[in-house]
Structure formats: structure tokens, C-alpha cells
A = this chain, B = another copy of it.
Amino acid sequence: MGNRLRDLSGKFSAATRALRPSEVREILALTENRKVLSLAGGLPGPEVFPKEDLARIASRVLEELGDSALQYSPTLGVMPFREAVADFVRSKGVKVLSDDRVAVTTGSQEAIYLLAMTLINPKDAIIVESPTYLAALNVFRYYGAEFVSVPLDENGMKTELLEDKIKEAKSKGLNVKLVYTVATCHNPTGVIMPDDRRKELLEVASKYDLLVIEDDPYSFFVFDEVPFTPLKTLDSEGRVIYLGTFSKILAPGLRLGYMVADRQITRMVELAKQMVDLHSSTLSQYIALYALKEGVVERTIQKARVFYREKRDIMVETLEKYMPEGSHWFKPRGGLFAFIYLPDGVDTSDMLPMAIERGVAYVPGRSFFSDGSGVNAMRINFSYLPPDKLREGIRLIAETAKDYMKSKGK
């Protein structure tokens, strides 16, 4: 006896070698318990949480429907909630086809995970915007995907490059399988893809028989008048897998996401989810169901849009005032984020400890690219902090950048 296990590294599966810490989660951990203004996360502003409404709803759900709300529930979700989600997305202009089914997930993160688990083989290639949502990159990479990165401009993914990129990938022997896009209020840049590009994207998807994951957490928060149609609505071929979340339109703490997709896909996701977590919180589903029914979700969206637009404007104004010459960014048309390019020579990963020391955090840009570019970029969030702290945070980032450049002799 006494054979104390000191080093467990030999016990882990080979697959763990592909596990990388989530940059955002690790920065959040770094800044926890410190007086750091965090512009790193994607957190909603707590001022928009409908606390009183949810307290009332939770209490009622538990008293009147406790036998169901506290019990196990079906893997794809509680049926009336799945129906309410379908009605909700329809009311937002998202077309639900007769062969589509709704799957409720533990945050939309789980939807991305389950899709990667059920769709990706090593050496499958995924078309992504460059930059794109880092957590999706991490999951796809874990399952052995290669990436076809398509640059974006203020109108999102440059779809005119798609075919050449696909041909190039195929010539390297890759199996181009799907497009992952945050077409509306893109993460991290906040740009919106207009319909002509959306149509081009779907034409290419049809020609090359690709699936399309339309990850859509932010389309409720469009600040400028930009017309767009959900890819899911433009698609008549059942190629688009539509993902949404209650994290931004109600509360992240409920941990509820949803997927609307062809039933063959939802069935496979159901089998995978049976293994992963059986089902998502029944109580959360009933609370969100009543929040939908009673208009709480709609009111939260309206309220958040006003707050976030104001903060977006404050952010842009503050960036213009303080950021060092040679910096640039897209003005976010919606969403929760802006992506800032600092002058060449700045390495935002290298600069991060200085920034945290000074009391502010952001996410270095490199994490949002599949190819290691974005060294001089950073993502900042503008939804979480109150206006004065947001101004202060951006000012501190600008100061840090100027000092960093000075220290490097720029």
C-alpha cells in the first residue's frame, strides 16, 4: 500500500492532448477576485436580467408544476418548451421546415459540441470566418477538423472567395464538410452579412453539398438599420443548422441553448446527448417557457438592445478618443463585441499581463483565428460593464498599448 498517485499524466486518454484551456475562461479565472475591469467575457449586463419576473415565474412553476419541473425530462427537451422555441424563432423570421426539429441544449456551447461529436471526422474541413468564435474553433479542432479560413470585411465573410478556397482545400485532399458562420452581429467583429452574400454562401453550399451551422446568439441586438434574412430562412434544402441561446435574451445562468435542424441531425444529437448529460435542466426549461409566454423574453430583448446600443456608442467614442494612432476596427452593427487591431508590432498576448496589472482584461486576437494571425488584435466586450467602467476600461487598454509600444521602441 502507500502507492500514492503523484502524477496522473499517464492515466489520461490520448485525446486529452488536444484539450486546450479556453482563453476566455482562463482569463475570467485570472481576473476573479481581483479588481480588474473585464472586457474579456461575453457577459450580458446584469441590469437587463428580469430578476423580479423570474423570481415570480420560478416560484409559480415550482408550486404549480413542481412534479414535472423537478423531474427528469426528455433528452431533446420538454415538449411545450420545444414548441415555444419553434414559435419564438418563427416570430423572429426564422423558417422552420416540416422536417426540422428543435433540440434543447445545455447552452449553445453544448449544441456546438454535440454537432462536432456527431459530424466531424479527422481531416474534415470546416469553413469559418477569419476571425471567428474561439470556442467553436476549439471544439472543432479537438475533433480533428482542419479549417478553411475566409477573410471578412464590414459585410462579413467574403463569399466571393469561397469557391477558390474550397477547391484549394479539396486539392489538398480535405473533405470540406460544413460552413460555420456567425453571419449576424458576428463574434468577434460585430459585422452583419447582407443577403446577397448569404445567397452566395448557400449556393456554394448547395453546389459542394455542405452543411451550414448558423450560430445566432446576437441577432436580437442589431443597433443600426441593416436588413438581413436568416440563412435558415433562405435555405430550402435543409442544409442549415440554426443555433440560438437564452443566455443573451434572458439569462446565461439558466444554461439553455437550442438547435433547429433536420430531424436526422436532431436524432443523432439526441443519441449523443443521452450519453453526455441525459437532458438539460427541466426547471430552467419551464422557467424559460413561462418567460417566453409572458413576454419577459421580449421585454428583456428590448431593454438590452437600448442599453447595449448606448454602450456600443460610448465604446466607439472612447476608442476614437484614446486608442493609439494606427489602430482600427469595424464599428459593430450589433452584438456584444468589437475587434480592435492595434498598430503592427503590438503583440496583444504579450501585452495582456501588463493590462491585467493595470486593472483591465481583454481577449487576445490570436485565439479567434485558425491560422495564428491576429497577433496585434484583441476582442473587447461592451455589454457587461456600466458606462463609466467601460470608458475607464478602454482608456486603460489604450494607455497600456501606448506604454507597450514605447517599451518596444515604436
Contact = CB atoms under 8 A, between A and B. Distances in A.
Interface stretch (A6-14, A146-154, A155-163, A214-222): A6-14
A253 B5 contact: no
A284 interface: yes
A66 to B, nearest CB: 3
Taking the full assembly, how many copies of this chain does it contain?
2
Interface stretch (A41-49, A325-333, A366-374): A41-49
Nearest to A47: B67
A274 interface: yes
Contacts of A55: 58-60, 62-63, 66
A299 to B, nearest CB: 15
Contacts of A278: 25, 107, 109, 135, 255
A251 interface: yes
B113 A275 contact: yes
B237 A1 contact: yes
Interface string A1-24: 111110111011111100111100
A365 to B, nearest CB: 20
B9 A264 contact: yes
Among A7, A22, A209, A271, the one with the most B-chain Cβ atoms within 10 Å of its Cβ is A271
Interface string A127-148: 0000000010011001100000
Contacts of A265: 8
A123 B231 CA distance: 43
Given A3-B237, A8-B265, A281-B255, A139 B52 contact: no
A238 interface: yes
Contacts of A280: 106, 255
A279 B237 CA distance: 34
A13 B143 contact: yes
B277 A110 contact: yes
A283 interface: yes
A314 interface: no
Nearest to A78: B253
